[in-house]
Chain A
């Protein structure tokens, strides 16, 4: 099964749940409500792969990323990083784990401190993780990181402030900050969706280059399936807190099994005006994650729902390495 941690998996997410309590008025009674942001996720991230996590806003992809980054504690389940449980690690173990995982966020205008120079920004992870050996070695590492992300020659950039850089350059700085301590996993949350289309390709190619150069593994979160297909080896589709389909990216795009994946793919705007789409799509929007529909959570929006869907489907193998949580998958398999 895909949740088994094998030797090739760097991260294993096990039965992970994160429920957020809904704040209520002072004197309201009745049962407490929860937002089921992540609601039972099993997935592995394999060494050296780019795993993309796709889905609409509110499906829980960012919460899952925050759990993998150990920014928030889970309600249930855990994340195993290279054989070690992230949430029961001792302080000492944690210090060693911390430097192995870094993040790149969506908005390069907000994720860089406007009052820090590029040098200060990029050397911060070294300082925070007490990896300062001596000043000259620190500068060397910062220069190497800037060079690696294509901000060269680095000496022209180290003294600058974020406002002096373009959006693409800022995202490069954010990536340099992530790689400066030689992490093994980078969690990238929509790293190109705020950028112009013409710059996106540049950043995506850079991230792929860095993977080769530094043996990185990526968890790449995006809502854009075309971007996901371009960067990733495997793709996981998330809906209302659950993974509904996971498999090789090319496979999923060519032969999607879950009706939700099919809908996402058919809603994607074409790049060929002669192939304009009509129809299919999907009605409505993601329901709120407080009252999860019983049975298959996609049932209310699904065009193919039948009685069996009243019981929640598990992930079923449909092809080599390709799994889908849908009863139709049984026929496909």
Chain B
């Protein structure tokens, strides 16, 4: 087990009260696995990722729960101890990372900075390492002297991936790594991620709202809704036998190239305001199967053959 998250709760302090962005999330990740974390905007995906590497903004706080990374309890570490974990054991590629490179420095300097901040290593070795990294992500090593504006979007994303790999982490969290990219470049980046996993045996958490990206490269999938994981399991299981009504609705809302053209359905309504009162099952209100019990009692996570689902009626509706 490389990563284990247990009953994690992260709340934001806002003017309107506590915003329960992540509210009791548990999942685990094996070495070499790619997990797709899927959900709509504002369902808590990014907060969950930031909680794992402890990079939350000041207004947010982990209230309870556990994050165990490679046997170490991340949440009880001191800041110095955490610094040794971040980048070396777990790194993160932020959403919109394409624009987060410093425009007035050559990319080489920026990657070197990341390496030198976390490792004691000679200057010359740093250069060699950058060459290796560029090679691994499919960039010409000579390009390291270039400035960010000299790269295209896809190449910048490669630079960001190289940077995330700079200190040989076991876990890489990527927040919407291919969302801003064109189809063909997206394909190239997904292919790169796939080959890096095969070569380096790194584990990944891939955050996205796009189920087709998940279908393309993930081994496992966690469906998140309003701060909770509602379904979790093997990719084939969930795509072929989705048990939660939210997952079923999501799958029906994406246009498919494989099948004959059919009418797309959408999920009416929107995610509830997480600062206020929410129904016990948070999908109640948008769920076509919702009943009184859903409003009053929170559904527990149930397991059938390593397929986890939190719904009172999953047996009835997945028949």
A positions within 8 Å CB-CB of B = 56-57, 166-168, 196-202, 204-205, 223-227, 229-230, 250, 253, 263-265, 267-277, 281-282, 285
Contact = CB atoms under 8 A, between A and B. Distances in A.
B184 interface: yes
A277 B258 CA distance: 12
Which of A267, A273, A281 counts the most chain B CB atoms within 10 A? A273
B185 A229 contact: no
A273 B191 CA distance: 14
A226 B191 CA distance: 20
A297 B184 CA distance: 17
Interface stretch (B58-66, B87-95, B123-131, B211-219): B211-219
A281 B187 contact: yes
Given A196-B40, A269-B212, A270-B212, A285 B185 contact: yes
B210 to A, nearest CB: 6
B236 A271 contact: no
B142 interface: no
B149 interface: no
B150 to A, nearest CB: 12
A264 B258 contact: no
Given A201-B265, A270-B216, A57 B182 contact: yes
Given A202-B268, A273-B236, 19 more contacts: A56-B182, A56-B184, A198-B249, A199-B40, A202-B266, A205-B266, A225-B183, A264-B183, A268-B187, A269-B187, A269-B210, A270-B258, A271-B215, A271-B251, A271-B254, A271-B257, A276-B216, A276-B217, A285-B185
A270 B186 CA distance: 12
Given A229-B255, A273-B239, A57 B216 contact: no
Contacts of A224: 183
B12 to A, nearest CB: 18
B258 A275 contact: yes
Which of B154, B239, B257 counts the most chain A CB atoms within 10 A? B257
Contacts of A269: 186-187, 190, 210, 212-213, 215-216
A118 to B, nearest CB: 17
B267 interface: yes
A225 B257 contact: yes
A281 B218 CA distance: 19
B255 A227 contact: yes
Contacts of B186: 267, 269
Contacts of A205: 263-264, 266
B258 A201 contact: no
Nearest to A282: B184
B266 A198 contact: yes
B24 interface: no
Given A270-B212, A271-B212, A196 B255 contact: no
Given A264-B183, A269-B190, A226 B152 contact: no
A224 B249 CA distance: 21
A150 to B, nearest CB: 10
A288 B111 CA distance: 27
Contact of A271 (B191, B209, B256): B256
Contact of A264 (B154, B184, B268): B184
Given A197-B250, A270-B212, A285 B184 contact: yes
B185 A198 contact: no
The 4 A-B residue pairs with the shortest CB-CB distance in the complex, in nearest-first order = A267-B187, A202-B266, A201-B264, A269-B212
B254 A263 contact: no
Contact of B235 (A198, A225, A273, A281): A273
B275 interface: no
Interface in B182-224: 182-188, 190-191, 209-213, 215-218
Contacts of A282: 184, 187
A277 B41 CA distance: 28
A196 B253 CA distance: 11
Which of A198, A230, A250 counts the most chain B CB atoms within 10 A? A198
B261 interface: yes
Contacts of B40: 196, 198-199
Which of B184, B216, B236, B250 counts the most chain A CB atoms within 10 A? B184
B296 to A, nearest CB: 26
A202 B257 CA distance: 18
A42 to B, nearest CB: 25
A226 B254 contact: yes
Nearest to A267: B187
Contacts of B216: 269-270, 273, 276-277
B209 A197 contact: yes
B299 interface: no
A282 B249 CA distance: 33
A224 B41 CA distance: 20
B217 to A, nearest CB: 8
Given A197-B253, A199-B266, A230 B184 contact: no
A204 B249 CA distance: 16
23 contacts: A57-B182, A197-B209, A199-B40, A201-B254, A223-B182, A223-B183, A226-B255, A230-B261, A263-B184, A265-B257, A267-B184, A268-B257, A269-B187, A269-B215, A271-B211, A271-B251, A271-B254, A271-B258, A272-B256, A276-B216, A281-B191, A285-B152, A285-B185
B78 interface: no
Given A56-B183, A198-B40, A269-B187, A229 B250 contact: no
A226 B256 contact: yes
A202 B261 CA distance: 16
B15 interface: no
Contact of A272 (B183, B255, B258, B266): B258
B141 interface: no
A210 to B, nearest CB: 15
A136 to B, nearest CB: 32
